[in-house]
Structures are given as C-alpha cells and as structure tokens.
Amino acid sequence: MSRAMIRTAVVCTALLLFLLGHVRADKRPAPKAPKAQCCDEVRSLKVQMANLTSLLEDLAKKQETDLMKMVRQVMDLEKQNQQQEARVTEAESKYSEIHNRVEIMQLQAAQAAPQSTSDAIYDCASLYNRNYRISGVYKLPKDDFLGTPELEVYCDMEKNGGGWTVIQRRRVGLISFDRDWKQYKNGFGSISGDFWLGNEHIFRLTRQPTVLRIELEDWVGKVRYAQYGFFTLSNELNSYKLFIDNYSGDAGDSLRYHNNTNFSTKNKDNDKCVDDCASLRKGGYWYNCCTDSNLNGVFYRYGSHTKNSDGITWYGWHGQNYSLKRVEMKIRPQNFTP
C-alpha cells in the first residue's frame, strides 16, 4: 500500500514540476505574448492535468485491487498451512502411538534380558545408584535400544533422599508458561531455571512405577509438599492423561480433582469444563475444571500475588487466588532406595 502511494506521489510531483516548468519556459522567452494565447495554454494544461489526475486515480484503483488480490492469496496460503499443520500433528500422534507399541515391546524384551536394563541410565535415580550424589544438570544418554533421545535433566541428589528427576520448576518467573501443545509436549524453558520437561519425556520416565513430589513455597518463606506414591501419564494419543494415587503431605491433595483428565493447552481444550481452562488460567495443565490447582499459571510477584485467579495456585494451602513463589515437581521410581 505505502509503496503504491509513494510511487503515485512521485509521479504526481514529477508531472507538476514538468507542467510548471513548461508554463514558465513558455512565458520567459516570450513575455509579451498575447494574453489569449497564454490563457489558452493554461486552459489546455488544466485539461491535461485533469486527464492525468484521472489517469492516476485509475492507476491507484488498479493497484488497490491488485493488493486486495495479494492479501486474499496470502490468506489462502495461511489456511493451507494450517491444514497442513493439522495433518502433520495427526500423523505425528499416529506415529507416536506406533512408536509406543514398539517401545513397550522392546521394554518387555529388555526386561527379559536383565543385563541390558540393569546397566541402563533411565533417570536421575539410575545416576544416583551409580554414585552421582551432587544436584545439578545431567545428560541422560540417548538409548538406541529404546529409541529415546539424549535428554538434559536436573537431578536433585540431596533433598528427600535424592535420585529425583525434576520435571517442572517455577522460581524466577521470567519464562511464560502460556504455551501450545507442541511446546508442552517437547518441553520448554531453562533446565536450571524455570521449565517444563515435556509431556513426552514425563510419559517415558513414568512408565515404571513412579512417585511424584511437589514442593511449594509461599511469599513468607514457608514450605509445604504434596507427594503421590503413584504418578503416570498416558501417551500423546491419549492426551497425556494424568493418573495419581496415594497422596501424602502437608499441602493438601489439590491434584486429586484433576486425576483422570487429559492435558490441555491454549490450543487444545481437553478439559471437562465448559470453560477453556488453559486459556483462562494461562498455562497447560491437566484441567478437570479450572479450580483446585494449576502449577503452570502466571508467575505473580509479591504484591499482586493475591489478586488474580490465573496464578500458580494450590487450593489446599493458600486458596484459589494466591500465587505461589516457588514450585518444584520431581519424580523418582517407586522402588528407589536411597
């Protein structure tokens, strides 16, 4: 649009200068030309000007319709893109289902051949058992046998007996958790800061019986926890549905309400609610409806931490509108012995 306008302006200015120059040039060498001749010339120039102006208007109109055509084409392309992306997502989830079946078969095969599993490094607990006792970032090796990629994890090797693989953390508050399905699937954020490890990784890590421990801190420095003796996710085809059992702790059982629900993100409303909780609460989570807990909500700093219902909430401790200062979710195999 602006380019067409500039071009029009330039052409217009050039024409005006040309015409003005024409009038002056005619006038100067013959200053005593008869008045009638002069006026005729001016009149004819005026007509020409009018003609040129209408020409320019036509040109502008044509350019405008060209632009409209282009906009329409771009919109069509975008639509095609979206359709393609939907197809890719569908193909991906089909692929991951097939992949899962193969993996489960491989896992069963691996369990039948104990020498290959006892050596394997699955998680932070395996590292702990190999005498890694310092908390920090570790790389879980790629496993050709299971077809799992190399994965960077944060291992808590010191607190609550160690051997914990951290799957989520909120502490700094700079990274947005208002992300889409793909980002929640693959993980996002910074492994030593705030992050979501990724539903696909959490799903893999919880195929062996797993314990989940949620640690919470409020804005006066008090700390509480909720532990689930059993925690697992189903695969992507089943929307990473949550299963928890055997609560213990002092923070309250505020995940129970979301037991047996699919994961939802702002672009996939899988909740059991008329509302779209992931959009309303600004984070992906296993929403039943939008209450009780959301550990992936907005990080509100001190002062605004009690005024919003879309914060990092755990109803059982501070109610619906209190946004916590720090959260950590970590997992460990049930059979782990420190």
308 binds ligand NAG, rule: CB under 6 A: yes
Stretch that binds Ca ion, among 38-46, 65-73, 219-227, 273-281 (CB under 5 A): 273-281
81 binds ligand NAG, rule: CB under 6 A: no
Task: Please list every residue from 265 through 284 that binds ligand NAG, using CB under 6 A.
Answer: 270, 272
161 binds ligand NAG, rule: CB under 6 A: no
The SS3 of residue 182 is helix
Question: What is the rounded distance in angstroms from the CA atom of residue 223 to the CA atom of residue 225?
Answer: 7
- Judged by beta carbon, residue 205 or residue 278, the one nearer Ca ion is 278
Of the residues 262, 293, 296, 323, which one makes contact with ligand NAG according to CB under 6 A: 262
Question: What is the rounded distance in angstroms from the CA atom of residue 226 to the CA atom of residue 296?
Answer: 16
What is the 3-class SS of 113-148, one letter each residue?
CHHHHHHCCCCHHHHHHCCCCCCEEEEECCECCCCE
CB of 247 to ligand NAG, least distance (A): 6
DSSP assigned state of 266: T
**Residue 132 contact, options ligand NAG, Ca ion, none, Cβ 5-8 Å cut-off depending on partner type:** none
CB of 236 to ligand NAG, least distance (A): 8
Question: What is the rounded distance in angstroms from the CA atom of residue 278 to the CA atom of residue 263?
Answer: 9
Task: Please list every residue from 201 through 260 that binds ligand NAG, using CB under 6 A.
Answer: 229-230, 238-239, 243-247, 256, 259-260
94 binds ligand NAG, rule: CB under 6 A: no
Question: What is the rounded distance in angstroms from the CA atom of residue 261 to the CA atom of residue 289?
Answer: 10
Please provide residue 239's backbone torsions phi and psi, each rounded to the nearest 5 degrees.
Answer: 55, 35
**Residue 269 contact, options Ca ion, ligand NAG, none, Cβ 5-8 Å cut-off depending on partner type:** Ca ion
Question: What is the rounded distance in angstroms from the CA atom of residue 177 to the CA atom of residue 173?
Answer: 9
**Residue 273 contact, options ligand NAG, Ca ion, none, Cβ 5-8 Å cut-off depending on partner type:** Ca ion
Contact positions vs ligand NAG (CB under 6 A): 47, 51, 229-230, 238-239, 243-247, 256, 259-260, 262, 270, 272, 308-309, 320-321
